[in-house]
Structure 1
């Protein structure tokens, strides 16, 4: 790569003027890529990026000169040099507004380099009239409100003062808070006061709380009118290196405070009823421990949950997910490599002293070379920071399932052995790389300096065994790969010899990819030799000249017929129409805020989406009206997890949530509730359900299933 600056020999372009963009003194004007075209003997340069500036030296345009017409990204500025508009090719631009925001933001109170024109106040973009591709509508604006109070008594949305933080065991609280309002809830101010937006005026906002070091320690998500005053707030605590050492999600925080509707049942199941809220919060938190340098994660413990040990429903206990890590075991010298050598995963039985683990899985990483060479030589995993052996189930009495890798001096995997492979059988894969020097064994891989280091040939180390030799090949296919000048794959050929109708036949399949000058895929073609099946048609991609999107993919079949897929995008970059190769057409309509509201197809079916923000201000779909199936509705929990779903025909699903926010299903039956507000409460466990849902807990390896009456 070559960076070309104004004044360098051969630098393109003319100086910028008051009316025309161009070059400016000492500015980067071009990026060139030096490479070798396939079949060429010399390396040459291709201009890949161009830059244009105004007469004040501000970047105004960026584009790839290999594409015609040019697809330019454009920037506009205010007098203080702040970006006020950003335009992508063929799309409506983004606009940025700055000004005074917060008590410490004073316009002009900067320094000699930046006089300060204030903070970012809003980001906006024009909308499109629903159902149109380019008919511009009102702007949609996201607004930032600074200096949000951290207590409700001071006009803030939530209490995050020391007394409140102590109830969920948070030791370091926020010093600053900033709210972001979406385009559907534009506030009247950008600096908060005790009365504006006011303690109940942030329900639709995401509020970010930062500590004195600028780290986000709490995040409050939008909450509906029926959500608890305590809010949907996530918590993070950090060590002195900035690592997150404790996290408490919104669901578990509310559970620890006893504010979930099922809190009494859930806390009793977790044996936390008698514990104070801070103790509950610690039990329901995820905790991480790092080494003294803050680099190595030593231990990770998940929140408390009920789990069937070994998937035995008769052995349900209170446990925490636990992972521990050991580093640099067997290292060749006194250096600190910070490489994981032993990872132990299991469940920690709550309250056991000393700690007792169940369902333990141990994985070991070995870094010594598998070819017996010294541990500090070029093929060593210690040198390349990659394991040479991974041993799964390495604990006492374990199966010690081992996979191995051999590296070359450049750290490339040249031999990969699957578990159980001898190194000379079909379970071992050998890879040869292109080189600048000649390769006597594989001439096609040598003498290619332009693509040296890329994979050339991949094959198995030996024959397959145990197969029906009369019908199946002994050797697995050999794969060879070629590249274009930019390192993109140009062709992949897979070839193998095996029995066909009693005779040995060599067959191959080649996938060829063609690119335009800008390295964009323009066609893909698959052809074979030694087989009776006809070649597959070539698939050609067509790009929109205004924005660079792929708008058509067409395939010419061997009989000459053409099938195609076409896509249409609007000026906000959204796909609004999709036509498949069989003639089916699907269209999508978005509201002015960018949410899909209707999807229809050419056979007459439609699906409409409703977003009831009085119930769910986070922008989630609250109901779906399907022209065939009927109406479905959904209710979400504090962390956005689906908690209940009403289905057509009077059926309903409800889910309980484990303390890890994993859903566990419960069976519900009976008609859907038809009260005046059947889904008003965010915590509802299910229409028609008069009791808390069952909470069957499952380990991570068990898929979650459910049933409907």
Structure 2
């Protein structure tokens, strides 16, 4: 039975429903969902009654009923709007899609007012039937995320707020194909499965005279790995950085050969090498090895010349050497 213990009665008193019947209290403490008349669209959702702290003033017209920070009993409330701006020329293949969602709180003392509303709008490609964008707080911060699709209606890219579409804020997805060339091509057994996922700055750019190249950068925007794919020969560049601008090592692979370059003696202003790196080592890389790009023999310092051996009498104590 609801309110049978002292702790439960204290909670009911704090919510202001201790004098109500069990049925009324059960209704206020339950999750209620409201649907449209045809039962297809979910229009409203009410959460259990609980204590909240207002983030902004609760206003009715020009009258402030409660200031920000005030604690009161309220129910979480979500309102969903559907098919806003849906074309009527027959081009839309989907309907009953949520286009706007408003999350607020309904105080029990003022059930007709909304407290701290948060609005989110959704953009939908009606021809493909897929969501293409989400905007939080469209009338204020306007935080927008977008989603793109390829010709087969698969997710191809997802852009975070403030992303230019070609930086690390955009995630791109490529899929295996039964035909074609490259890493994801000519794989009929894996066709339409995800091949690679990464940010837009990592790969997908067009390199002059090199065909297609994939680039990866570190947290300081230093180029770490770059792969060139062409019909003649694939090449891979790898750079190891000490900090924002100090290049320690540069690896360059052509086919099955790996070339290693070290840091030159002089460092120019800004941390860039003062002149072109000088070759230190060239070694053949074992094909199909899981670490084939890093199989470089470790640098072995030159051995020191052996120390001159002291005469035998020098190894005796000084007192014994006097008697020799």
Q: TM-score range by the shorter chain?
A: 0.5 to 0.7
TM-score, with normalisation over the residues of structure 1? 0.28
Aligned match of 1:388: 132
> What is the deviation of 1:506?
6.2
The separation in 1 between residues aligned to 2:121 and 2:22, in whole angstroms, is: 39
Contact 2:55 2:69 in 1 (8 A): no
Listed one character per residue, the Cα deviations across residues 226-246 of structure 1 (whole Å, up to 9, x for unaligned) are xxxxxxxxxxxxxxxxxxxxx
Counterparts of 1:11-410 in structure 2, within 5 Å, are: 254-255=1-2, 258-310=3-55, 314-333=69-88, 337-352=95-110, 355-368=112-125, 375-376=126-127, 380=128, 382=129, 386-394=130-138, 396-397=139-140, 399-410=141-152
**Residues 1:328 and 1:533: Cα distance change in structure 2 (over 3 Å):** farther
Distance 1:459 1:276 in 2: 57
- Of the three residues 185, 195, 199, the one matched with 1:456 is 195
C-alpha contact 2:120 2:137 (8 A) present in aligned 1: yes
Q: CA separation of 1:315/1:434 partners in 2, compared to 1, >3 Å: closer, same or farther?
A: same
Summarize the alignment of residues 422-501 of structure 1 with structure 2, pairs less than 5 Å apart: 422-439=164-181, 443-462=182-201, 468=220, 472-473=222-223, 497-500=238-241, 501=247
Gaps of 5+ in 1: 1-253, 369-374, 479-494, 508-525, 535-709
SS of match in other structure, 1:306: strand
Structure 2 Cα separation of the partners of residues 408 and 530 of structure 1? 33
1:389 CA drift (Å): 0.8
Aligned CA distance change for structure 1 residues 468 and 445 (closer, same or farther; 3 Å) = closer
Secondary structure of 2:183's counterpart equals: helix
Cα deviations by residue, 1:144-194 (Å, 9 ceiling, x for unpaired): xxxxxxxxxxxxxxxxxxxxxxxxxxxxxxxxxxxxxxxxxxxxxxxxxxx
1:352 Cα deviation from its structure 2 partner: 1.9
Asked if the contact 2:45–2:78 (Cα under 8 Å) also holds between the matched residues in 1, the reply is: yes
Give 1:571-610 correspondences, 5 Å limit: none
How many angstroms apart in 1 are the aligned matches of 2:79 and 2:240? 51
Compute the displacement of 1:324 (Å).
1.6
Aligned residues: 223
**Which residue matches 2:63?**
none
Higher relative contact order (Cα pairs below 8 Å, separated by 6+ residues): 1
* Distance in 1 separating the partners of 2:252 and 2:43: 53
Q: 1:289 to 1:365 in 2, by over 3 A?
A: same
Q: Is the 8 A contact 1:434 1:445 kept in 2?
A: yes
Q: In structure 1, the residue corresponding to 2:55 is in which secondary structure? A: helix
1:528 has 2:270 as partner: no
Deviations 1:637-678 (A, max 9, x none): xxxxxxxxxxxxxxxxxxxxxxxxxxxxxxxxxxxxxxxxxx
Alignment of 1:517-556 (within 5 A): 527-531=290-294
Q: CA RMSD in A?
A: 3.4
Task: Mark the CA change 1:458 to 1:261 in structure 2 (over 3 Å): closer, same or farther.
Answer: closer
Matched position secondary structure for 1:281: helix
Any idea what the Cα deviations from partners look like across 1:22-79, whole Å, max 9, x if unmatched? Answer: xxxxxxxxxxxxxxxxxxxxxxxxxxxxxxxxxxxxxxxxxxxxxxxxxxxxxxxxxx
Q: Does 1:504 align with 2:247?
A: no
State whether residues 473 and 496 of structure 1, in contact with CA within 8 Å, keep that contact through their aligned partners in structure 2: no
**Correspondence for 2:314:** none
Q: Secondary structure of the equivalent of 1:262?
A: helix
In the alignment, what sits opposite 1:195? none
Instruction: Report the CA distance between 1:428 and its aligned residue.
Output: 1.8
Give the gaps of 5 or more residues in structure 2: 57-66, 203-215, 228-235, 242-246, 254-288, 298-324
Give the structure-2-normalised TM-score.
0.58
Of structures 1 and 2, the larger Rg is shown by: 2
Supply the distance in 2 between the matched residues of 1:496 and 1:289 (Cα, whole angstroms).
Answer: 59
The structural deviation recorded for 1:316 is: 0.2
Distance of 1:279 and 1:293 partners within structure 2: 27
Q: Would the aligned equivalents of 1:426 and 1:460 in 2 still touch at CA under 8 Å?
A: yes
| CA distance in 2: counterparts of 1:299 and 1:419, whole angstroms | 28
Q: CA deviation at 1:272?
A: 1.6
Once residues 179 and 121 of structure 2 are traced to their aligned partners in structure 1, the CA distance between those partners, rounded to angstroms, is 38
Q: Secondary structure at the match of 1:410?
A: coil
Map of 2:308 onto structure 1: none
Q: Is the 8 A contact 1:473 1:499 kept in 2?
A: no
In the aligned structure 2, how far is the partner of 1:327 from the partner of 1:425? 33
The 8 Å contact of residues 433 and 445 in structure 1, kept in 2 or not, is answered as yes
> What is the distance in 1 between the residues matched to 2:86 and 2:237?
42
C-alpha change, 1:282 and 1:431, in structure 2 (3 Å) is: closer
Aligned pairs for 1:611-650 within 5 A: none
Confirm or deny: 8 A CA contact 2:237 2:250 kept in the other structure: no
Q: How far has the Cα of 1:295 moved from its partner? A: 2.5
Following TM superposition, by how much is the alpha carbon of 1:424 offset from its aligned partner in structure 2, in angstroms?
A: 1.8
